[in-house]
A and B are shown apart, each in its own frame.
Chain A
Amino acid sequence: MNITSSDVILLAHSTFGVLGTLAAIWVFVEALNASEANAERIRRAAWMAALCMIATWILGGHWYVHFYPADRAMILKGPWPFAHTLFMETKEHLFFIPLILSFYLVIAARGKLFANAAARKMVLCVAMLIALSGLAIEGAGAVINHGAKVALLRGIAGSGR
């Protein structure tokens, strides 16, 4: 077994992305049933979403700067160059949306959601936007991963001929 730091960082960044998305969904569900009893839990879940997004940003940024250039070159030579030119380019900039929204979620969740319909509606919308954009980013990550895979497979198949 040969697990490199690149593998660990890559998988950790997507794991934290999923956890951040799940935390946003957790906030959404709790806010649907907002009461005095779960107010503190909503705030903690919002913090968890923001902290997971920060971890994703740092880990993803480190991997993108230090390890991705080799993968990018391979993807661009493979049969799915759009995995980089469209999906990676969109994904890396789309990520700033849930990042900023997760920071805002912490601020919006400070209000008394159980007593303020406007604050509750705002938290529900922001949590849903984080979840949807997070899922879109995870989907883009899968396309990029497949772009690298088909490029490698073509290289292996080509070298075998």
Chain B
Amino acid sequence: MTSENAGLSRSSTGFAIAAAITILFSTVLACVKDAYHPLNSFMNSVAWHNWITHGLVDVILFFVLGIIFSKNAWAGRIASSRLISFLVGAVIVAGVGLFVWYAAF
């Protein structure tokens, strides 16, 4: 395999999956805390404001998942085109999902 045809590195693959999952998780968390106020109150109590807690959870999740996925052998076997599709799809679903959620509720 030449370098021009080489796939993504294991860390690049692992953190791409972590980014897509974190983005989807963040959207779900935004909807759940909006609908379930005890969770919102709990997140307010953790780090000054639910939005700050939300951001910290996202960042921690991204790095923890990224490190875990990067250490797995299967990370290097995923086709880069599928990974890019997954990441782009996650961003579109999350972005449109947030807008629709706040428009509807």
Contacts and interface: CB of A to CB of B under 8 A. Distances in A.
Which of A61, A85, A103 has the largest number of chain B CB atoms within 10 A?
A103
A119 B4 contact: no
Interface in A83-120: 85-86, 89-90, 92-94, 96-97, 99-101, 103-104, 107-108, 110-112, 115-119
A117 B81 CA distance: 11
A80 interface: no
A64 interface: yes
A101 B19 contact: yes
A92 B54 CA distance: 10
B64 interface: no
A54 B55 CA distance: 11
Interface in B62-105: 62-63, 66, 80-81, 83-84, 87-88, 91, 94-95, 98-99, 102-103
B43 interface: no
Contact of A117 (B4, B19, B58): B4
A96 B55 contact: yes
Describe B's contact surface by its main secondary structure. Answer: helix
Nearest to B94: A97
B51 A64 contact: yes
Contacts of A126: 87
B9 interface: yes
A59 interface: no
Interface string A56-88: 010001001100000000000000000001100
Contacts of B95: 94, 97, 133, 136
A154 B72 CA distance: 59
Nearest to A98: B91
A92 B87 contact: no
A125 B51 contact: no
Contacts of B9: 110-111, 119
A119 B8 contact: yes
Contact of B54 (A86, A93, A122, A136): A93
- Give me the 5 closest cross-chain CB pairs, A-B, nearest first: A118-B80, A115-B3, A93-B30, A89-B102, A104-B19
Interface of A: 57, 61, 64-65, 85-86, 89-90, 92-94, 96-97, 99-101, 103-104, 107-108, 110-112, 115-119, 121-122, 125-126, 129, 133, 136
